[in-house]
């Protein structure tokens, strides 16, 4: 019999839609890397979620994009010997549990989901999958009896509804899922767009100056940061940095290490030009080894696939153990 759990289980994931950006790295992946040695880690490439906006994905490229994201996890420092890194669609139990949870989740709860509202805006037709997206996310998390979900601030509502779904499921069927807690960065839980410091940096912006991609070349990074929106002042005021300057300092802090105070002091009183150059230097130096490792991993696709296959088996064994009990609890085979 398995003994009591000594480590907390962490689960998180990223959609393979478009190129990952600094928000994904700072808000999520860096947190995973920092926490990796302390926990039992499961990191997923959530390709089933990517299907919820079929107009936005390139179906022909989706398989390759999923491998890109998996390779980026490793390139950023997730160690496949310490963490399970797998593709969501390779573990069929995610879709199975999502269906069961669909059946127990009241539509009233779903109608309150803010991401559905923002993501469905401007879409000609919206699939039911986009509406049910948070339930698939709940399935991802609950399947592994996750304790902690390290994510950006924008995912808070999704983790909260996961707790509610778990509680409702237990009320209906008497089966106990571990209640997950959100974990966010103290600095960097919400990285803003370079073109608009009031809007979250996101993969879906059409403005080429909006986000820095993890695979952007040095000259592109410098150009994007040089054009980042600040404010009408000219020098950094550590006491009261405006939203744009605060965002640049957040990015610097993530790459330079050290404390937030150190980041503030490093640039206090300096002109915005010097700030942007300083941030660009830190980002370029930080992304260089990630990009190098990424290209090396992507050039050995067979090895990457083998690692993902082994991880998917490990994830599936755990998912299957949960599903045996869940199926019995709800009365299906
Ligand atoms: P996705 O693919 O939109 O984003 C992946 C991760 O990056 C974080 N993030 C940010 N953090 C800080 N600043 C930003 N500007 C920024 N933009 C994105 C997100 O918060 C996220 O942590 N629904 C999830 C994927 C998912 C998932 C899960 C996450 C599916 N199942 C289970 C955790 C657990 C999403 O859309 O991520």
- Express each pLDDT in 283-322 by its tens digit: 999 999 999 999 999 999 999 999 999 999 999 999 999 9
Distance separating alpha carbons of residues 102 and 132, to the nearest angstrom: 7
Rounded (5°) CA angle 149-150-153: 105
First-to-last CA distance in the chain?
Answer: 24
Nearest Cα residue to 78 out of 11, 21, 19: 11
Domain residue spans in the chain? 9-183+300-330, 218-293
pLDDT the model gives residue 119 = 87
Superfamily of domain 218-293: Tyrosyl-Transfer RNA Synthetase (1.10.240.10)
31 lines ligand 1 (CB under 6 A): no
Q: How far is the CA of 252 from the centre of ligand 1 (A)?
A: 21
155 lines ligand 1 (CB under 6 A): yes
49 lines ligand 1 (CB under 6 A): yes
Residue 208 has φ and ψ, to the nearest 5°, of -65, -20
Q: Which residues touch 251 (CB under 8 Å, ≥6 apart)? A: 22, 26, 191, 279, 282, 283
Q: How far is the CA of 28 from the centre of ligand 1 (A)?
A: 7
Q: Which residues touch 111 (CB under 8 Å, ≥6 apart)? A: none
pLDDT the model gives residue 30 = 98
Count of beta carbons in the 10 Å neighbourhood of residue 282? 20
Residue with tokens 């179906």: 59
180 lines ligand 1 (CB under 6 A): no
Whole-structure pTM value? 0.97
- DSSP letter (8 states) at residue 181: E
pLDDT the model gives residue 104 = 97
Q: How far is the CA of 69 from the centre of ligand 1 (A)?
A: 13
200 lines ligand 1 (CB under 6 A): yes
pLDDT the model gives residue 122 = 80
Count of beta carbons in the 10 Å neighbourhood of residue 316? 17
The rounded radius of gyration (Å) of the Cα atoms in the chain is 21
pLDDT the model gives residue 57 = 79
* CATH tag, 9-183+300-330: 3.40.50.620
Cβ contact 149:142 at 8 Å: no
Distance separating alpha carbons of residues 179 and 181, to the nearest angstrom: 7
Enclosing H/E stretch for 150? strand 148-150
Nearest CA to ligand 1 atom 31: 137
pLDDT the model gives residue 296 = 98
15 lines ligand 1 (CB under 6 A): yes
Take residue 179 and report the two structure tokens written for it.
């209640």
Nearest Cα residue to 88 out of 8, 151, 12: 12
Nearest CA to ligand 1 atom 24: 14
β-sheet bridge partners, residue 200:
192
Check for a shared fold between 9-183+300-330 and 218-293. Answer: no
Residue with tokens 């010097």: 274
2 three-class SS = coil
Instruction: Supply the residues annotated as catalytic.
Output: 119, 200, 203
Enclosing H/E stretch for 86? strand 83-87
Q: Which atom of ligand 1 is nearest to the CA of 146?
A: 34
Segments of the chain with pLDDT less than 50 = 1
Residue 105 has φ and ψ, to the nearest 5°, of -90, 120
Take residue 105 and report the two structure tokens written for it.
């989740």
Nearest CA to ligand 1 atom 34: 12
Nearest CA to ligand 1 atom 14: 23
pLDDT the model gives residue 2 = 56
Quick: pLDDT tens for 197-254: 999 999 888 899 999 999 999 999 999 999 999 999 999 999 999 999 999 999 999 9
13 lines ligand 1 (CB under 6 A): yes
Count of beta carbons in the 10 Å neighbourhood of residue 172? 12
């Amino acid at each position: 019999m398995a003994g009591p759990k000594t480590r907390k289980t962490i689960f998180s994931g990223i959609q393979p839609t478009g190129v990952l950006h600094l928000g994904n790295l700072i808000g999520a992946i860096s947190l995973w890397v920092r926490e990796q040695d302390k926990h039992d880690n499961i990191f997923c490439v959530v390709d089933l979620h990517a299907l919820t906006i079929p107009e936005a994905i390139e179906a022909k490229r989706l398989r390759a994009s999923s491998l890109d994201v998996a390779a980026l996890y490793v390139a950023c420092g997730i160690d496949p010997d310490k963490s399970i890194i797998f593709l969501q669609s390779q573990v069929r139990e995610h879709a199975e549990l999502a269906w069961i949870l669909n059946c127990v989740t009241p539509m009233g709860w779903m109608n309150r989901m803010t991401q559905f509202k923002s993501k469905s805006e401007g879409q000609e037709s919206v699939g039911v999958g986009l509406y049910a997206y948070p339930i698939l996310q709940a399935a991802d998390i609950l399947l592994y009896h996750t304790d902690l979900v390290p994510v950006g601030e924008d995912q808070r509502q999704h983790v909260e509804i996961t707790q509610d779904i778990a509680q409702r499921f237990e009320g209906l069927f008497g089966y106990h899922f571990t209640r997950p807690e959100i974990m966010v960065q103290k600095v960097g839980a919400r990285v803003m767009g370079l073109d608009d410091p009031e809007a979250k940096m996101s993969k879906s912006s059409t403005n080429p100056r909006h986000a820095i991609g993890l695979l952007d070349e040095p000259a592109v990074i410098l150009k994007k940061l040089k054009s980042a929106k600040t404010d009408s002042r000219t020098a950094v005021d550590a006491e009261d940095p405006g939203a744009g300057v605060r965002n640049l300092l957040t990015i610097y802090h993530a790459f330079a290490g050290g404390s937030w105070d150190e980041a503030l002091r490093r640039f206090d009183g300096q002109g915005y030009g010097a700030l942007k150059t300083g941030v660009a230097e830190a980002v370029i130096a930080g992304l260089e080894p990630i990009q190098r490792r990424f290209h090396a991993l992507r050039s050995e696709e067979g090895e990457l696939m083998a690692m993902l296959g082994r991880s998917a088996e490990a994830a599936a064994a755990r998912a299957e153990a949960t599903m045996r009990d869940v199926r019995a609890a709800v009365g299906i085979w």
